[in-house]
Amino acid sequence: MEPINAAIDGLLKLYFAVFSWAPPIAGLAVLSAIIGAAMLWVFGKTSDQKRMKQVKRRVYASLLELRVFSDEPAVSWRAQKSLFGANLRYMGLALMPALWMAVPMVLLIIHLESFYSRAPLEVGREAIVTMGMAPGWDARSPAPAVTAPAGVEIAGPPVRVESAREISWRIVPRAEVSGQLVFRVGSTEVARGIEAGRRQRYVGGRNVRSTFASLWEPAQPRIASDAVEWIEVDYPEAAPGMFGVRLNWLVWFFAISIVAALVLKKRFGVVI
């Protein structure tokens, strides 16, 4: 999976660089429209379009029966049963395209989290970096030494939470930064990316040690030390906006991709 994740990240970083001059919503809108068109194409190639057309005609016929014969209980009941059966058949026909699209969409969404769900740290505002320790950690042992990049201040001593197996540091970005915090854990160095400033950019989530967990957190390199389970920076949440409306990026992503698919379905000749 790591080569696949690296390839997806590389392509998205290139795409994001092209739109670095524009507000985040601009790049998100274009990407969402492209994904909507791609999903429409995949749907057309992996679904039984002939049978879907037949089922949709059955749905329209049943709806018409319900409207025309609303005062005849026997006919209305038959139309309702027909409509229910047609909807079930439609969902069955749509299952195969959904399965084809599920894995690529999940991978894409996981990677897009690093571009659109988190904002860089604000210059001059304190933030917390937390390290989750592995089972067996001794809270009385010396805390890992931390080296911060230029422009980032370590604002105080580490704070241990023994019950949660966590160590936290307060940091303050004093300038726009794109660098790494380096933790010395025993004889091992563990690096963690740090981003601060006004410009929206690639902001990775947790660093994790577990191979399974790394499937959901592919944006940062896996932790090499057996003493550490994860490292996280409490980045602020990003909310792309359009016309003064700010929403979670997933709302914009699905809304724009669905609209794009609906607009293009006739041009693609796809029944959905």
pLDDT tens string 55-82: 888 888 888 888 888 778 887 888 888 8
Residue positions counted in the chain: 272
Q: Percent of the chain beyond pLDDT 90? A: 52
207-228 confidence digits (pLDDT tens) = 999 888 887 888 788 898 999 9
pLDDT at residue 144, rounded to an integer: 94
pLDDT at residue 70, rounded to an integer: 75
Among 81, 91, 83, residue whose Cα is nearest residue 64 = 83
Looking at the predicted structure, is the pLDDT value of residue 1 above 70? no
10 Å CB burial of residue 4 (0-12, 13-18, 19+) is: exposed
- Model confidence at 16, pLDDT cuts 50, 70, 90, reads confident
Looking at the predicted structure, is the pLDDT value of residue 237 above 70? yes
Looking at the predicted structure, is the pLDDT value of residue 248 above 80? yes
Looking at the predicted structure, is the pLDDT value of residue 27 above 70? yes
Average pLDDT over residues 238-250: 85
10 Å CB burial of residue 59 (0-12, 13-18, 19+) is: middle
- Domains of the chain, by residue range, sit at 2-117+245-268, 127-233
Q: Kindly report the average pLDDT of the chain as a whole number.
A: 89
Average pLDDT over residues 187-206: 89
* List of E strands, the chain: 127-133, 145-147, 152-154, 159-161, 166-173, 177-185, 188-196, 207-208, 228-233, 241-242, 245-246
Looking at the predicted structure, is the pLDDT value of residue 3 above 80? no
* pTM, entire model: 0.82
CA 171 to chain centroid, in Å, comes to 26
Q: Percent of the chain beyond pLDDT 70? A: 99
Looking at the predicted structure, is the pLDDT value of residue 174 above 80? yes
Q: Name the DSSP letter for residue 61.
A: H
Tell me which H or E stretch contains 29: helix 24-46
Copy the structure tokens of residue 159: 């704070």
pLDDT at residue 198, rounded to an integer: 86
pLDDT at residue 236, rounded to an integer: 93
Average pLDDT over residues 172-193: 93
Looking at the predicted structure, is the pLDDT value of residue 159 above 70? yes
Looking at the predicted structure, is the pLDDT value of residue 185 above 70? yes
pLDDT at residue 103, rounded to an integer: 87
Looking at the predicted structure, is the pLDDT value of residue 2 above 80? no
Looking at the predicted structure, is the pLDDT value of residue 202 above 80? yes
